[in-house]
Structure 1
Amino acid sequence: MRNKKVELLAPAGNAEAFYGAVHAGADAIYLGGNRFGARAYAENFSEDELVDCIRYAHLLGRKVYLTVNTLVKESEFSELYEYLMPYYRAGLDGVIIQDMGVFAFIRDVFPQMELHGSTQMTITGEYGAEFLKKQGACRVVPARELSLEEIRRIKEVTGMEIECFIHGAMCYCYSGQCLFSSILGGRSGNRGRCAQPCRLPYTVGGNRRECYPLSLKDMCTIENIPELIDAGIDSFKIEGRMKKPEYAAGVTAVYRKYIDKYYEKPGEKLSISGEDLHRLSCLYIRSERQNGYYHKHNGKEMVTLNNPAYSGSDEQVLEQIREKYLYKHLTLPVQMKASFLTGTVAKLTLRCDQTEVTVTGETVQEAAKQPITVENISKQLGKLGGSNFHLDGTMDILVSENAFYPLKTMNELRRKGLSLLEQKLITANGFPYTREVQKPFDITGAHNGHMQKQSGFSLYLRTAEQWNGFLRSSFLKKPKEHTSLRIYVDSDLFLTWGDTIAEHLQILKKIPAETVLALPKIIRLLDSRYLKLLEKSIRDNLEAVDGFLISSLEHVGLLQQWHFLQSKKRYGDHSLYLWNCRSIEFWTDYLDGFCLPLELNYAEQRQLVNGILPAEKFLYGRIPMMVTANCVTKTTDHCRREEGFGITELTDRYHKVFPVMRNCTHCYNIIYNSVPFSLHKTAAKWKDSFCCRLEFTTESENETFNVLEYFYGSRTDLPYTEYTTGHEKRGVE
């Protein structure tokens, strides 16, 4: 057993939920202010409320973490400093972050605040966690899909604090990899505005019966507390900033009870009472309970196939929670000793446990008419309502017989004493009462560089059929002079070539084209053998590989460990989310170019083309709406791992069909948009400024060939009838 006890981390969507969770025993609270948080529709906190909550938490020895876990546009970045400054000054303990530009900015400008990598960063292993640690993060919230074995591995390798979800709603998609709500309705999960299309009905494949294949049951791990602690998890996180205060307090209280029981008798089996299981089930649980991914990679039993609605709550249980945790304000006992002797300054001493402070006021005068008495002094100094203290016992008051002291000034003396006592208690608990910060010279990180023009095309090829379509195309047979060509070869395709890798890549060298390997979208511990094979194949064909497409922090960390690749180029994919100039500035040390984000409109994208990094523009391809550990095929039929790569279909209520690619090599699904993204009408204005990307996902050989011929200019008729221009005009809120 570890010496340091696990932290119980509760959510708060408003002040009532905050105080309820604190009173129920939370060690820390995570919450959002009125900006930059991934729960835009929660009530959230005003500036004054949040500062008061920080003070209150620190007074009781608890911590507060602020969610700054959305992607930030360039036009918003200048507001980040003024937003965070009052909370930093008040002693905010840490921030939970998704955007690496935001991460670097807070690290540099607010150096005494902890940086936590959000689950929105899609950290799935030791490579991404180690990279974050090198950047200054002390804690990581890994993907919810990780097993206990993977969590142990991250802990052993990095030594970082690990924060894991242990109760509440589950996203079907790897957090940070979901564009479903964004593309369909403009409500971006990366901006805290998810409309939850995963909770809607779909039909799968040829089945006409509607079900809810993307709706996961809520997580409840109350029975798994011992093994979660033993796995090295440092913070138990309860999901639910959008939920009611009764939920925050009630769930916190149950987990507090059993965490304490574990530490009281760590060797004994933890037995959960039926009453407490019922209580948890009454608190906004969606359908049945399940214990998450800790012991399973995916499974039908995790999904609410028939009904994704929340089960009813028990009003009697809710009222019990209100009575115990919400209606009362927890205060600390304080002893008072006062002295009002004529001719001397008034003196007030306050003591709370082992902490004592003394404050002085104005000189006590002789009374002309009505002198002050022990009774009215006691009444005035005892007005502690609205403070964080209550009187412990009777006051020790020393007063001259004919003393006068204004009641208003006496109130000021009391307030002064309570403020100083609060300050001293907070610092005694190990927290800063106030911090100083200087405003940075450069708030946004924007640069006035000139756009680095990079005409040409990049082609992303995933399958052997798409490769063959490319071999037939004019891009290979009639390469244009002064037009660069970059070929992204999926690493799965690369390995299927086996002994003929050199032969395949030699074709590209003759054009010449830049050969760039695209690593698997998600890499996990189960990919260890695959990565060893890939590393060997790259070493054997080192001269033919020019670089890598990087889609995640895992990729960055992995390539840093493969030291023999330091001279190779690295291009950031759109899922790396370079949304502002600060993030571009950060990534210049690690990338040679990047793909413009899919959720920004044209004008917002142009703000990022500032001469620091060459930009690539997504011109054609199906947008990945979700990357998931759970498998639609396995959920609605059976596991078909032996068949390898495959595609099924999801059909929504409006008869839109979404292809679902099954990648059995890495055991994940990618759900693609129902129609391809295409900027063919405006392609001409991009070709001279950007490397224009054509990405192939579900296309056959002929479909790949026809699309390539159209964008090359060898055919004039568009080879597809339906398409979307995505966020090119509208963008996201």
Structure 2
Amino acid sequence: MMELLSPAGGYEALVAAVQSGADAVYMGFGAFNARRGARNFTDEEFASAVQYCHLRGVRVFLTLNTLVTDRELPAAADALRRANAIGVDAVLVQDWGLLALAREIVPDLPLHASTQMSLFTLGGANEAAALGMERVVLARELSRDEVREICAGCKAEVEIFGHGALCMCYSGQCEMSAVLGQRSGNRGACAQPCRLPYGVDAPCRGAYPLSLKDANLSAYLQDMERMGVDCLKIEGRLKRPEYVAVVTGIYRRLLDERRLPTAEESAALEQAFSRSGFTDGYWLGRKGKAMFGTRPENVPEPKELFARARETYENGKENRKIPVNLRLTVRRGKPVRLSGACAVRNGVTIALATGDTPEEARNRAVTAEELAQRLSKTGGTVFTADSVEVELDEGLMVSASAVNGLRRELLDELAARRQDIPKRRELPASPLPDAPAGAERMAFTVSIARADQLTEALLAEKPAIVYIPAELLDTMDLSACAGRTELCAVLPRVFRTADEQPLRAILERHPEVTSVTVGNWGHMPIVRGLGKTLRGDLGLNVYNSRAVAFWRERGLTSVTASLELRWQQVRDLGKYADCEAVIYGRLPLMITENCVTKNNVGCTHGAGSVLTDRMGAQFPVLCAYGCRCEIENGKVLVLADKPEVFRCGLRYGRLRFTTETAEECAAILRAHNAGTITADADTTRGLFYRGVE
């Protein structure tokens, strides 16, 4: 049966999840998880929580799924070691450097690829599996047909989100909270700017074009099981324990009874939490305005529903009774023996307790029925006697206290074995080799969004690399570029399994394009074997030196530093590959499956739209590959007038052209070459000096 995975943002929520029927829980401790706003757990609480869960047959997954700086890696390594020693069942990761470190220092600890890795293709899922990931958590935006295709071909387990909040942006690709408020969603501190009002090609007047309803896929559980989904995740580590209990309990019943939710259950799910109801739009492949909704402030608590929920797990309520088969042997002249067995994941736990030799009865001999009745009294434990067998020679006597003592000893032993910590290796982390020196001089590269931006005037300024969206290549005459610059194809940040072969075919048709970007795990099957230079793009979220080394080992010649890093952090990156950073242009804030433009003003056939917030700030919305859209920052990043950008050891500084005219593109590159670029009120320094939480 499909595993039901529930959130545990604190100890009470953990108990609520377990007592409501979760097969597994996901939880965090420390600073390295994608819900730092949740209460989370101290080390001691976490160890206790793992024991609590394992006793009841519930698995525990630790979330270490945030981006980590070089300075934070030692603490993250300590968290991995603690998780390994405590006996967690798996760790979710996003950061490439942390992934490489985990494989080295705790090689036996199972790893899951977090949804923050932005996995949405079969190729990407299998790349993660080839790295040793036991499970991949797919992007929420996939349809059921796309999930089915991945399940059929993926070499790892597949987990999907079944209930709870939907991010407007693809997980792992959102920079809106970071750029606008220094609170990084990639580091567990998202301020949820998508829940605020915006206008689309109009002033902000209270519409919420970025606020998606919560997902509710409770009607499709049997479909998921048939297609091979291994795990259904309930989102909500910031939610109340009562919410966890209500939602987990309903999904537990639906899975066990293999049925659709009743009207009463659907109403309870909506009462527990919703935003103008729910959506199943992505699952059904139906995007549009119907997927959007808000939650008014001061929504009254569903007191009756939550009170009933608390009754199911508070005050030591134990719903997770473990069936035990007991067998008592009482033979004349031999010690009394009590054996017991209970099921555990993929096996059976067996224990044995031995007592004194039984005495001859002086008055009345004990009966098998009396012994069975005593053994059945398992109250105060998580066990319940499922079957009791008694082998008894006639005429013997065994005291009630002796039987009770054997029962307690046996059940204690079974409990201890269920909580056994697996034997796993813990190895030292090998230091990174000395990194090559960074580049002494930074060359300028340019990326274009439209074919008309690549002109003779731009080429005359001799950009080191011109990045061109792969989907534009067939529409462009690139002969004028021959021998003048490196042409690099930019693969789309978001695509689907069906796009893999068409994208590869485009690259094969253009030998004049000598390099290609890798911005997602799913790009690797597309580019492998083409003989082109591979360059890491922004979508990889390269955040630390081990991440640079990780991608260099996989054949990348250069990587692009995360735009969340301060200049000192960029400077200190080990330059195991050439490093690039965006130093000019509008920073990408979101890439969305739902088209903001089409939903609100109708399709503009590539022209995009403009998003306006409450303060009047405007954000261009550009069309992206596959009828998706990319929201750009309203202010243009300018860094090349600052000396620090030239002290970072960067091989390349990228000028990211989006809304600029062809004439502006050439003029801006010319100003960079001449050292005359300047900042004004409409420009920003981004996060180059501020960094993020």
Same fold (TM over 0.5): yes
Contact 2:610 2:618 in 1 (8 A): yes
* Residue 319 (1) aligns with residue 273 (2): no
Residue 186 (structure 1) aligned to one of 179, 182, 187 = 182
Gaps (5+ residues) in structure 2?
329-334, 344-348, 357-374
* Partner of residue 732, structure 1: 692
* Partner of residue 423, structure 2: 435
* Residue 126 (1) aligns with residue 111 (2): no
> Once superposed, what is the RMSD of the aligned Cα atoms?
3.5
* Residue 423 (1) aligns with residue 410 (2): no
Closer, same or farther in 2 for the Cα pair 1:709/1:684, shift >3 Å? Answer: farther
1:671-721 CA distances to partner (integer Å, 9 max, x unpaired)? 01110111032158518753111111111122212211211118x464864
What CA distance in whole angstroms lies between the structure 1 residues aligned with 2:60 and 2:471?
A: 44
* Residue 278 (1) aligns with residue 251 (2): no
SS of residue paired to 2:309: helix
Closer, same or farther in 2 for the Cα pair 1:384/1:52, shift >3 Å? Answer: farther
Closer, same or farther in 2 for the Cα pair 1:297/1:107, shift >3 Å? Answer: farther
Closer, same or farther in 2 for the Cα pair 1:331/1:300, shift >3 Å? Answer: same
Q: 1:572 Cα shift?
A: 0.7
* Partner of residue 581, structure 1: 545
Closer, same or farther in 2 for the Cα pair 1:729/1:352, shift >3 Å? Answer: same
* Partner of residue 243, structure 2: 247
Closer, same or farther in 2 for the Cα pair 1:310/1:559, shift >3 Å? Answer: farther
Residue 701 (structure 1) aligned to one of 659, 662, 678 = 662
* Partner of residue 518, structure 2: 550
* Residue 490 (1) aligns with residue 469 (2): yes
Q: 1:224 Cα shift?
A: 1.9
1:386-417 CA distances to partner (integer Å, 9 max, x unpaired)? 865589999999899xx9x9xxxx99x99986
Contact 2:461 2:669 in 1 (8 A): no
**AA at the equivalent of 1:548:** V
1:631-652 CA distances to partner (integer Å, 9 max, x unpaired)? 1112212234xx2x22211111
* Partner of residue 521, structure 1: 493
* Residue 691 (1) aligns with residue 691 (2): no
Q: What pairs up with 1:172-321 in 2 under 5 angstroms?
A: 172-206=168-202, 209-262=205-258, 270-304=259-293, 312-321=300-309
* Partner of residue 629, structure 1: 593
* Residue 90 (1) aligns with residue 86 (2): yes
Contact 1:619 1:683 in 2 (8 A): no
SS of residue paired to 2:464: strand
* Partner of residue 615, structure 1: 579
* Residue 672 (1) aligns with residue 632 (2): yes
* Partner of residue 711, structure 1: 672
What CA distance in whole angstroms lies between the structure 2 residues aligned with 1:489 and 1:392?
A: 67
* Partner of residue 570, structure 2: 605
* Residue 477 (1) aligns with residue 441 (2): no
Contact 2:470 2:506 in 1 (8 A): no
Q: 1:222 Cα shift?
A: 1.3
* Residue 658 (1) aligns with residue 619 (2): yes
Contact 1:487 1:514 in 2 (8 A): yes
Q: 1:65 Cα shift?
A: 1.1
What CA distance in whole angstroms lies between the structure 2 residues aligned with 1:552 and 1:311?
A: 40
Closer, same or farther in 2 for the Cα pair 1:271/1:391, shift >3 Å? Answer: closer
Closer, same or farther in 2 for the Cα pair 1:31/1:446, shift >3 Å? Answer: farther
**AA at the equivalent of 2:651:** F
Residue 160 (structure 2) aligned to one of 164, 171, 180 = 164
Closer, same or farther in 2 for the Cα pair 1:257/1:661, shift >3 Å? Answer: same
What CA distance in whole angstroms lies between the structure 2 residues aligned with 1:245 and 1:56?
A: 16
What CA distance in whole angstroms lies between the structure 1 residues aligned with 2:379 and 2:189?
A: 39
1:398-446 CA distances to partner (integer Å, 9 max, x unpaired)? 899xx9x9xxxx99x99986653223345xxxxx63324333142x646
**AA at the equivalent of 1:694:** L
SS of residue paired to 1:650: strand
What CA distance in whole angstroms lies between the structure 1 residues aligned with 2:298 and 2:323?
A: 41
What CA distance in whole angstroms lies between the structure 1 residues aligned with 2:295 and 2:421?
A: 49
Residue 137 (structure 2) aligned to one of 141, 144, 147 = 141
Closer, same or farther in 2 for the Cα pair 1:399/1:152, shift >3 Å? Answer: closer
Contact 2:152 2:227 in 1 (8 A): no
Which stretch of the first structure deviates more once superposed, 347-356 or 628-637? 347-356
What CA distance in whole angstroms lies between the structure 2 residues aligned with 1:604 and 1:684?
A: 12
Residue 457 (structure 1) aligned to one of 444, 461, 464 = 444
**AA at the equivalent of 1:299:** G
**AA at the equivalent of 1:85:** R
Which stretch of the first structure deviates more once superposed, 306-315 or 130-139? 306-315
* Residue 592 (1) aligns with residue 588 (2): no
Contact 2:123 2:497 in 1 (8 A): no
Closer, same or farther in 2 for the Cα pair 1:526/1:425, shift >3 Å? Answer: closer
What CA distance in whole angstroms lies between the structure 1 residues aligned with 2:495 and 2:541?
A: 18
What CA distance in whole angstroms lies between the structure 2 residues aligned with 1:464 and 1:587?
A: 30
Q: 1:325 Cα shift?
A: 2.8
Contact 1:515 1:547 in 2 (8 A): yes
Closer, same or farther in 2 for the Cα pair 1:81/1:496, shift >3 Å? Answer: same
Q: 1:454 Cα shift?
A: 5.5
* Residue 44 (1) aligns with residue 26 (2): no
Q: 1:447 Cα shift?
A: 3.6
1:103-157 CA distances to partner (integer Å, 9 max, x unpaired)? 2222232222222111111111112112111111121111110111111111222
Closer, same or farther in 2 for the Cα pair 1:119/1:309, shift >3 Å? Answer: farther
TM-score (norm 2): 0.86
What CA distance in whole angstroms lies between the structure 1 residues aligned with 2:571 and 2:377?
A: 59
* Partner of residue 21, structure 1: 17
SS of residue paired to 1:254: helix
What CA distance in whole angstroms lies between the structure 1 residues aligned with 2:440 and 2:381?
A: 62
What CA distance in whole angstroms lies between the structure 1 residues aligned with 2:410 and 2:436?
A: 56
Closer, same or farther in 2 for the Cα pair 1:726/1:320, shift >3 Å? Answer: same
1:314-340 CA distances to partner (integer Å, 9 max, x unpaired)? 2111111111233413455789999xx
Q: 1:245 Cα shift?
A: 0.8
Q: 1:453 Cα shift?
A: 4.2
SS of residue paired to 2:82: helix
SS of residue paired to 2:282: coil
* Residue 722 (1) aligns with residue 682 (2): yes
TM-score (norm 1): 0.82
**AA at the equivalent of 2:415:** E
* Residue 647 (1) aligns with residue 608 (2): yes
What CA distance in whole angstroms lies between the structure 2 residues aligned with 1:639 and 1:244?
A: 40
Q: 1:448 Cα shift?
A: 4.7
Closer, same or farther in 2 for the Cα pair 1:124/1:29, shift >3 Å? Answer: same
Q: What number of residue pairs does the alignment pair up? A: 658
Contact 1:139 1:163 in 2 (8 A): yes
What CA distance in whole angstroms lies between the structure 1 residues aligned with 2:254 and 2:386?
A: 31
* Partner of residue 102, structure 2: 106
**AA at the equivalent of 1:433:** I
Gaps (5+ residues) in structure 1?
263-269, 339-345, 363-380, 427-431
What CA distance in whole angstroms lies between the structure 2 residues aligned with 1:580 and 1:414?
A: 54
**AA at the equivalent of 2:516:** F
* Partner of residue 375, structure 1: none
* Partner of residue 540, structure 1: 509
* Residue 154 (1) aligns with residue 118 (2): no
